Protein backbone atom coordinates (compact mmCIF):
# COMPACT_ATOMS: atom_id res chain seq x y z
CA UNK A 1 0.00 0.00 0.00
CA UNK A 2 2.90 2.31 0.80
CA UNK A 3 4.01 2.26 -2.84
CA UNK A 4 0.59 3.49 -3.92
CA UNK A 5 0.70 6.59 -1.73
CA UNK A 6 2.69 8.82 -4.13
CA UNK A 7 0.14 8.02 -6.83
CA UNK A 8 -2.74 8.92 -4.51
CA UNK A 9 -1.04 12.17 -3.59
CA UNK A 10 -0.40 12.93 -7.26
CA UNK A 11 -4.12 12.52 -7.91
CA UNK A 12 -4.79 14.95 -5.06
CA UNK A 13 -2.40 17.51 -6.51
CA UNK A 14 -3.91 17.14 -9.95
CA UNK A 15 -7.36 17.63 -8.48
CA UNK A 16 -6.13 20.87 -6.94
CA UNK A 17 -4.30 22.30 -9.89
CA UNK A 18 -6.02 20.92 -12.98
CA UNK A 19 -9.69 21.18 -12.01
CA UNK A 20 -11.40 23.77 -14.16
CA UNK A 21 -14.77 25.02 -12.97
CA UNK A 22 -16.87 27.99 -13.96
CA UNK A 23 -18.24 27.96 -10.44
CA UNK A 24 -15.81 29.98 -8.34
CA UNK A 25 -17.28 28.58 -5.14
CA UNK A 26 -16.37 25.10 -6.29
CA UNK A 27 -12.88 26.29 -7.16
CA UNK A 28 -12.47 27.64 -3.64
CA UNK A 29 -13.44 24.26 -2.23
CA UNK A 30 -10.72 22.38 -4.08
CA UNK A 31 -7.93 23.03 -1.53
CA UNK A 32 -10.19 21.66 1.23
CA UNK A 33 -11.00 18.56 -0.82
CA UNK A 34 -7.31 18.03 -1.45
CA UNK A 35 -6.60 18.41 2.26
CA UNK A 36 -9.06 15.63 3.02
CA UNK A 37 -7.55 13.46 0.32
CA UNK A 38 -4.03 13.95 1.60
CA UNK A 39 -5.07 13.34 5.20
CA UNK A 40 -6.59 10.07 4.07
CA UNK A 41 -3.25 9.19 2.50
CA UNK A 42 -1.44 9.97 5.76
CA UNK A 43 -3.55 7.40 7.60
CA UNK A 44 -2.37 4.59 5.35
CA UNK A 45 1.37 4.90 5.89
CA UNK A 46 3.76 6.15 8.54
CA UNK A 47 6.06 8.99 7.54
CA UNK A 48 9.55 8.02 6.42
CA UNK A 49 12.40 8.91 8.73
CA UNK A 50 14.05 12.04 7.42
CA UNK A 51 16.95 14.15 8.57
CA UNK A 52 16.62 17.60 10.18
CA UNK A 53 15.56 20.69 8.22
CA UNK A 54 18.43 22.25 6.28
CA UNK A 55 19.13 25.88 7.15
CA UNK A 56 19.37 27.52 3.73
CA UNK A 57 21.16 30.53 5.23
CA UNK A 58 24.03 28.34 6.39
CA UNK A 59 24.23 25.50 3.88
CA UNK A 60 27.28 24.96 1.70
CA UNK A 61 27.02 26.57 -1.71
CA UNK A 62 24.15 28.97 -1.05
CA UNK A 63 20.74 28.40 -2.60
CA UNK A 64 20.96 30.09 -6.03
CA UNK A 65 23.32 28.05 -8.13
CA UNK A 66 24.18 28.41 -11.78
CA UNK A 67 21.80 29.95 -14.28
CA UNK A 68 21.17 33.68 -14.42
CA UNK A 69 21.04 35.61 -11.19
CA UNK A 70 19.30 39.01 -11.15
CA UNK A 71 21.73 41.77 -10.32
CA UNK A 72 24.67 39.40 -10.20
CA UNK A 73 26.15 39.98 -13.66
CA UNK A 74 26.62 42.64 -16.29
CA UNK A 75 24.56 40.67 -18.78
CA UNK A 76 21.42 40.68 -16.64
CA UNK A 77 20.06 43.88 -18.14
CA UNK A 78 20.19 42.36 -21.62
CA UNK A 79 18.64 38.99 -20.82
CA UNK A 80 16.16 39.86 -18.13
CA UNK A 81 13.10 39.85 -20.40
CA UNK A 82 13.87 36.21 -21.17
CA UNK A 83 13.82 35.41 -17.45
CA UNK A 84 10.21 36.39 -16.86
CA UNK A 85 7.62 33.64 -16.43
CA UNK A 86 5.14 35.29 -18.77
CA UNK A 87 4.91 32.70 -21.55
CA UNK A 88 2.10 30.60 -20.07
CA UNK A 89 -1.22 31.85 -18.70
CA UNK A 90 -4.33 30.20 -17.31
CA UNK A 91 -7.91 31.09 -18.22
CA UNK A 92 -7.91 33.85 -15.62
CA UNK A 93 -4.83 35.49 -17.09
CA UNK A 94 -2.55 34.41 -14.25
CA UNK A 95 1.01 33.39 -15.05
CA UNK A 96 1.61 29.63 -14.99
CA UNK A 97 4.87 27.94 -14.01
CA UNK A 98 4.78 24.27 -15.06
CA UNK A 99 6.55 21.77 -12.81
CA UNK A 100 7.33 18.08 -12.73
CA UNK A 101 8.84 15.78 -10.09
CA UNK A 102 11.82 13.68 -11.11
CA UNK A 103 10.75 11.06 -8.56
CA UNK A 104 7.67 11.89 -6.54
CA UNK A 105 7.98 8.69 -4.49
CA UNK A 106 11.22 9.99 -2.94
CA UNK A 107 9.08 12.37 -0.85
CA UNK A 108 6.73 11.07 1.81
CA UNK A 109 3.03 12.08 2.00
CA UNK A 110 3.65 14.77 4.60
CA UNK A 111 6.27 16.37 2.37
CA UNK A 112 4.02 16.23 -0.68
CA UNK A 113 1.34 17.88 1.41
CA UNK A 114 3.85 20.65 2.21
CA UNK A 115 4.47 21.09 -1.52
CA UNK A 116 0.73 21.58 -2.00
CA UNK A 117 0.58 24.07 0.89
CA UNK A 118 3.54 26.06 -0.44
CA UNK A 119 2.09 26.28 -3.92
CA UNK A 120 -1.29 27.23 -2.49
CA UNK A 121 0.33 30.07 -0.49
CA UNK A 122 1.87 31.43 -3.69
CA UNK A 123 -1.38 30.94 -5.61
CA UNK A 124 -3.38 32.84 -3.01
CA UNK A 125 -0.97 35.73 -2.58
CA UNK A 126 0.44 36.33 -6.05
CA UNK A 127 -0.35 36.30 -9.76
CA UNK A 128 1.72 33.12 -10.16
CA UNK A 129 0.21 29.64 -10.51
CA UNK A 130 2.27 26.46 -10.20
CA UNK A 131 0.69 23.72 -12.30
CA UNK A 132 1.77 20.17 -13.26
CA UNK A 133 3.55 20.21 -16.59
CA UNK A 134 1.72 18.99 -19.66
CA UNK A 135 3.97 19.57 -22.65
CA UNK A 136 5.38 23.04 -21.99
CA UNK A 137 8.96 23.69 -23.09
CA UNK A 138 9.97 25.69 -20.01
CA UNK A 139 9.32 24.10 -16.64
CA UNK A 140 10.59 23.52 -13.11
CA UNK A 141 12.14 20.11 -12.51
CA UNK A 142 11.85 19.19 -8.81
CA UNK A 143 14.76 16.96 -7.94
CA UNK A 144 15.60 15.14 -4.71
CA UNK A 145 19.38 14.92 -4.52
CA UNK A 146 21.88 15.12 -1.68
CA UNK A 147 22.84 18.65 -2.57
CA UNK A 148 20.79 20.81 -0.24
CA UNK A 149 18.10 23.32 -1.14
CA UNK A 150 18.59 25.45 -4.24
CA UNK A 151 17.16 26.93 -7.41
CA UNK A 152 19.18 26.70 -10.62
CA UNK A 153 19.24 30.42 -11.21
CA UNK A 154 16.52 32.99 -10.57
CA UNK A 155 13.70 33.38 -13.05
CA UNK A 156 12.91 31.42 -16.18
CA UNK A 157 16.06 29.88 -17.56
CA UNK A 158 14.49 28.11 -20.53
CA UNK A 159 13.80 24.40 -20.88
CA UNK A 160 14.22 22.18 -17.85
CA UNK A 161 15.12 24.18 -14.74
CA UNK A 162 16.16 22.31 -11.62
CA UNK A 163 14.71 23.06 -8.22
CA UNK A 164 16.89 20.95 -5.93
CA UNK A 165 15.07 19.94 -2.75
CA UNK A 166 16.90 17.33 -0.75
CA UNK A 167 14.98 14.90 1.43
CA UNK A 168 16.77 11.96 3.00
CA UNK A 169 18.16 10.79 6.33
CA UNK A 170 20.85 13.47 6.20
CA UNK A 171 18.58 16.48 5.83
CA UNK A 172 15.51 17.91 4.14
CA UNK A 173 14.27 21.04 2.40
CA UNK A 174 10.60 20.19 2.62
CA UNK A 175 9.21 22.42 5.36
CA UNK A 176 6.72 24.90 3.92
CA UNK A 177 8.77 28.06 4.39
CA UNK A 178 11.85 26.58 2.69
CA UNK A 179 9.75 25.34 -0.22
CA UNK A 180 8.21 28.80 -0.66
CA UNK A 181 11.63 30.45 -0.42
CA UNK A 182 13.11 28.29 -3.16
CA UNK A 183 10.02 28.58 -5.35
CA UNK A 184 10.27 32.36 -5.15
CA UNK A 185 13.87 32.12 -6.35
CA UNK A 186 12.61 30.06 -9.28
CA UNK A 187 10.03 32.79 -9.97
CA UNK A 188 12.88 35.27 -10.27
CA UNK A 189 13.70 36.93 -6.97
CA UNK A 190 16.92 37.08 -4.99
CA UNK A 191 17.30 37.65 -1.26
CA UNK A 192 15.95 40.72 0.49
CA UNK A 193 19.38 41.67 1.84
CA UNK A 194 20.73 41.79 -1.75
CA UNK A 195 18.51 44.76 -2.68
CA UNK A 196 20.36 47.81 -3.99
CA UNK A 197 18.80 49.92 -1.21
CA UNK A 198 19.71 47.52 1.59
CA UNK A 199 22.29 49.91 3.12
CA UNK A 200 19.39 52.07 4.30
CA UNK A 201 18.11 49.17 6.37
CA UNK A 202 20.90 46.74 7.27
CA UNK A 203 24.65 46.70 7.76
CA UNK A 204 26.52 43.73 6.32
CA UNK A 205 29.49 42.63 8.43
CA UNK A 206 31.73 41.03 5.82
CA UNK A 207 34.45 40.69 8.45
CA UNK A 208 32.26 38.02 10.06
CA UNK A 209 31.37 36.21 6.81
CA UNK A 210 33.25 33.12 5.70
CA UNK A 211 35.34 34.27 2.75
CA UNK A 212 33.91 31.94 0.13
CA UNK A 213 30.38 33.10 0.97
CA UNK A 214 30.97 36.83 0.55
CA UNK A 215 29.20 36.71 -2.86
CA UNK A 216 26.02 35.77 -0.97
CA UNK A 217 26.05 39.33 0.38
CA UNK A 218 26.72 41.21 -2.85
CA UNK A 219 24.38 44.12 -3.46
CA UNK A 220 22.36 44.19 -6.66
CA UNK A 221 23.08 47.07 -9.01
CA UNK A 222 20.57 49.93 -9.13
CA UNK A 223 20.65 49.68 -12.92
CA UNK A 224 20.15 45.92 -13.06
CA UNK A 225 17.34 45.42 -10.56
CA UNK A 226 14.12 46.97 -9.38
CA UNK A 227 12.33 47.12 -6.01
CA UNK A 228 9.01 48.17 -7.62
CA UNK A 229 8.63 50.62 -4.72
CA UNK A 230 8.03 47.75 -2.31
CA UNK A 231 9.38 48.71 1.15
CA UNK A 232 12.29 46.76 2.60
CA UNK A 233 10.90 43.91 4.67
CA UNK A 234 12.90 42.58 7.63
CA UNK A 235 10.34 39.78 7.91
CA UNK A 236 10.47 38.80 4.26
CA UNK A 237 10.54 35.08 3.61
CA UNK A 238 13.50 35.96 1.36
CA UNK A 239 15.59 37.55 4.14
CA UNK A 240 18.60 35.73 5.55
CA UNK A 241 19.11 35.35 9.29
CA UNK A 242 21.37 37.60 11.32
CA UNK A 243 24.17 35.01 11.52
CA UNK A 244 23.98 33.51 8.03
CA UNK A 245 27.37 32.20 6.83
CA UNK A 246 29.10 33.48 9.97
CA UNK A 247 32.73 32.52 10.63
CA UNK A 248 31.96 31.58 14.21
CA UNK A 249 29.03 31.00 16.51
CA UNK A 250 27.54 34.20 17.82
CA UNK A 251 29.00 36.40 15.07
CA UNK A 252 26.56 38.76 13.36
CA UNK A 253 26.66 39.02 9.57
CA UNK A 254 23.49 41.08 9.07
CA UNK A 255 22.71 43.88 11.50
CA UNK A 256 19.45 45.79 11.24
CA UNK A 257 19.78 49.56 11.45
CA UNK A 258 16.48 49.56 13.32
CA UNK A 259 17.54 47.53 16.35
CA UNK A 260 14.00 46.45 17.24
CA UNK A 261 14.05 44.07 14.26
CA UNK A 262 17.38 42.39 15.05
CA UNK A 263 15.92 39.58 17.16
CA UNK A 264 13.25 38.84 14.55
CA UNK A 265 15.64 38.56 11.59
CA UNK A 266 14.74 35.18 10.17
CA UNK A 267 12.69 33.56 7.43
CA UNK A 268 9.01 34.19 8.03
CA UNK A 269 6.50 31.35 7.94
CA UNK A 270 4.21 32.81 5.29
CA UNK A 271 4.37 34.66 2.01
CA UNK A 272 4.27 38.32 2.97
CA UNK A 273 6.09 39.60 -0.09
CA UNK A 274 3.56 41.37 -2.36
CA UNK A 275 4.65 39.51 -5.49
CA UNK A 276 1.41 40.45 -7.21
CA UNK A 277 2.56 44.06 -7.16
CA UNK A 278 6.14 43.13 -7.99
CA UNK A 279 5.08 40.87 -10.87
CA UNK A 280 2.13 42.68 -12.50
CA UNK A 281 0.62 41.56 -15.83
CA UNK A 282 2.69 44.17 -17.67
CA UNK A 283 5.88 43.16 -15.88
CA UNK A 284 9.05 44.84 -17.04
CA UNK A 285 12.09 44.13 -14.91
CA UNK A 286 14.27 46.70 -16.66
CA UNK A 287 14.54 50.26 -15.45
CA UNK A 288 12.80 53.01 -17.38
CA UNK A 289 14.61 55.82 -15.62
Instruction: Tell how strand 160-165 and strand 149-151 pair up.
Output: antiparallel
185 is in an annotated binding site: yes
Percent of the chain, pLDDT > 90?
39
How many residues appear in the chain?
Answer: 289
Which tens digits make up the pLDDT trace of 265-281? 654 444 444 454 444 33
Burial class (CB in 10 A: 0-12, 13-18, 19+), 146: exposed
137 is in an annotated binding site: no
Task: Tell me the CB-side half-sphere exposure of residue 22, using CA atoms within 13 A.
Answer: 0
List 60, 102, 182, 207, catalytic entry? 182
205 is in an annotated binding site: no
CA-wise closest residue to 119 among 17, 30, 268: 17
pTM of the model: 0.76
Q: Which residues contact 145 (CB under 8 A, 6 or more apart)?
A: 164, 166
pLDDT number for residue 173: 96
Is residue 111 annotated as part of the catalytic site, yes or no?
no
| Phi, psi values for residue 40, rounded to 5° | -65, -35
Q: How far apart are CA 10 and CA 132, in angstroms?
A: 10
Q: Which residues pair with 134 in a beta bridge?
A: none
Q: Report the mean per-residue pLDDT for the chain.
A: 76
17, pLDDT greater than 70: no
264, pLDDT greater than 90: no
pLDDT number for residue 247: 93
pLDDT number for residue 202: 95
Q: Is the dihedral of CA 172, 161, 64, 235 positive or negative?
A: negative
For range 210-224, the mean pLDDT: 87
16, pLDDT greater than 60: no
93, pLDDT greater than 60: yes
Which tens digits make up the pLDDT trace of 26-35? 444 455 555 5
- For the chain, what is the HEC assignment? CHHHHHHHHHHHHHHHHHCCCCCHHHHHHHHHHHHHHHHHHHCCCCCCCCCCECCCCCCCCCCECCCCCCCCCCCHHHHHHHHCCCCCECCCCCEEEEEEECCHHHCCHHHHHHHHHHHHHHHHHCCEEEEECCCCCCEEEEECCCCCEEECCCCCCCCEEEEEECEECCEECCCHHHHHHHHHHHHCCCCHHHCCCHHHCEEECHHHECHHHHHHHCCCCCCCCCCCCCCCCCCCCCCCCCCCCECCCCCCCEEECCHHHHHHCCCCCCCCCCHHHHCCCCCCCCCCC
pLDDT number for residue 229: 78
Amino acid sequence: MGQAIPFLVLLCLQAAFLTVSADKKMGQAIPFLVLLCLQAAFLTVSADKKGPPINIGKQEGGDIRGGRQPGAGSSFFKVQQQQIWNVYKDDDGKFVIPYVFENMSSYNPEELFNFALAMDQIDRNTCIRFRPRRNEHDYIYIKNERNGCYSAGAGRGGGQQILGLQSDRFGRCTDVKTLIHEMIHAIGFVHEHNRYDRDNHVKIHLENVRAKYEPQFHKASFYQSHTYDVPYDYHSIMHYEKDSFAKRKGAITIETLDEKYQKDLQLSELVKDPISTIVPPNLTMSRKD
